[in-house]
Amino acid sequence: MQEQDLSKNNFEQCIKCTICTAYCPVVQVNPSYPGPKQAGPDGERFRLRNPFFYDENLKYCMNCKRCENACPSGVRIADIIHTARMNYSHSKPTLRDWILANTDFMGKVARPVAPIVNAVVGTKPAKAAMDAVLGVDRHRTFPKYRFSGFEGWLRRKAPDQSKFARQVAFFHGCSTEYQHPEVGRAFVRVMNALGYGVQLIDEQCCGVAMISNGLWNQARSHARHNVEAFRKTDLPIVTTASTCTFTMRDEYQEILGVDVSVVRDRIVLVEKFIYSLLDQGRVRLAFREDFKARVAYHIPCHMEKLGWSIFTRELLGMIPGLELTVLDSGCCGMAGTYGFKKENYAYSQEIGRPLFERIKLLDPDYVTSECDTCKWQIEMSTGVEVRNPILLLEEALDLEKTAELNR
């Protein structure tokens, strides 16, 4: 379609139908946010004429991409909004923004003193201080840092990965390294059972939090680093986190202008990777007979944008003994670092309210979701544990039998 267009301005595809606004979670709760049509294609016409028309309230966009999924005309609304933030915003990231954005740096600093950090940030005085001094909302529960991370475990404790005939590279992301190494361990065990060895790559944080906090240059540097690291291997780059995946595949190019074309198709979420192998008859799965769980699946916004939740649904649907409810598609309100900020906290909870109410009503054994910040939000707001689908898969699979089938 695009080759027929004479203008490179994608906003010209907008016919002002306002369907995007009908599906925007922010505009429903926050009157200061101008809404995707006005913030995106409508505002862009004015901004091109004179940057004076830039509206700082564009910072309220969570980049959930629901506007783009709803648009009948293929307008990249959220990309237009974020590019405008990058090009026109005068507001500088604060110390709080810098801390929230640098997830990997903070992880490295916190790790050696993890028990102390976890204990301190969990206390009321510390929360009050962070609220007052930094603007990190006092209601938030911080994910706990772990003393030892995933990479260390893989090097020291996992079986020799080079002995497997087939190999994948694993982009584990920050939260698997610093907060939830069990996700990485489950990934390795499942991949090993499928006959794949897991290699590390020289990865840096995908940079999504830098993009949303306006640290554009740092984000671009991370993007370049990762793309370069991916180029050095021919292996599939498999991930367990939906937002890292989406950011590297789409945002590097569309927002940061970093060319990912040579590696993009190799960046894949583990659920799609495994489903695709099954679909081609290249691997087989054997499930345990004694696994039982009632699970509710929350589809993260970026999973909706990737269009890959179908793979997770299909995979989980194969598990005997797993009773799956797919929750109505709706944003949890967290949007990475967005919900941590004092100015967004109330909106964040209001956006997620219908989801929380539904989960409480269902009262499942677990919620499952590919996104760690959705996990933090849902756990804090409902008390129900949220597990990455790979953890469910690891638990439900008979790993020994599966390994035999794939030998």
Partner 1 sequence: MRYDTIIVGGGLAGLVCGLRLQQSGKKTAIVSAGQNAMHFSSGAFGLLSRLEDGTPVDEPLTAIDRLSGEHPYSKIGSERMSVLVREVKPFFEAAGIPLTGDESRNSYIITPTGNYKKVWLALDDMTLLGGSDSKIGDKILIVNFKGYLDFNTAFIAEGLEKRGMKCRIESVELPEMERLRSNSTEMRSVNIARVLDGGDAWKHFVASVNRMITDEDTVILPAVFGFADGSLIRSIREGVRVKTVFIGTMPPSVPGIRSQMRLKKAYELSGGTILLGDQANSPVFDGDRLVSLGTVNMEEVRLEADNFVIATGSFFSRGLWATPEKVLEPLLGLDVISSESRDGWYDEDFFSPQGYIGFGVRTDNGFHPMRGGRPMENVFAIGSLLGGCNSVKMGCGAGVAIMTALEVANTISSSR
Report in angstroms how near the CB of residue 68 gets to partner 1 at its nearest. Answer: 7
HSE-up of residue 215 (Cα within 13 Å, Cβ side): 22
Report in angstroms how near the CB of residue 178 gets to partner 1 at its nearest. Answer: 30
DSSP string, 135-161: -B-TTPPPPPP-SS-HHHHHHHTS--G
- Residues at the interface with partner 1 (CB under 8 A): 1, 4, 17-19, 21-23, 27-28, 31, 34-35, 37-38, 42, 68-74, 265, 272, 275-276, 279, 304-308, 310-311, 313-314, 326, 328-329
187, 192, 195, 201: CA torsion to nearest 10: 60
- The smaller minimum CB distance to partner 1, of residues 146 and 266, is found at 266
d(CA 302, CA 246): 6
Report in angstroms how near the CB of residue 17 gets to partner 1 at its nearest. Answer: 6
Report in angstroms how near the CB of residue 182 gets to partner 1 at its nearest. Answer: 28
d(CA 309, CA 293): 20
Taking Cα atoms as reference points, which of 137, 191, 108, 197 lies closest to residue 161?
A: 197
- The smaller minimum CB distance to partner 1, of residues 104 and 370, is found at 370
- The smaller minimum CB distance to partner 1, of residues 75 and 106, is found at 75
**Can you tell me whether residue 107 is helix, strand or coil?**
helix
Amino acid at 31: P
- The smaller minimum CB distance to partner 1, of residues 38 and 102, is found at 38
Would you tell me how many other CB atoms lie within 10 Å of the CB of residue 104? 18
HSE-up of residue 262 (Cα within 13 Å, Cβ side): 12
d(CA 238, CA 135): 35
- The smaller minimum CB distance to partner 1, of residues 205 and 327, is found at 327
- The smaller minimum CB distance to partner 1, of residues 71 and 393, is found at 71
- The smaller minimum CB distance to partner 1, of residues 231 and 282, is found at 282
d(CA 95, CA 336): 17
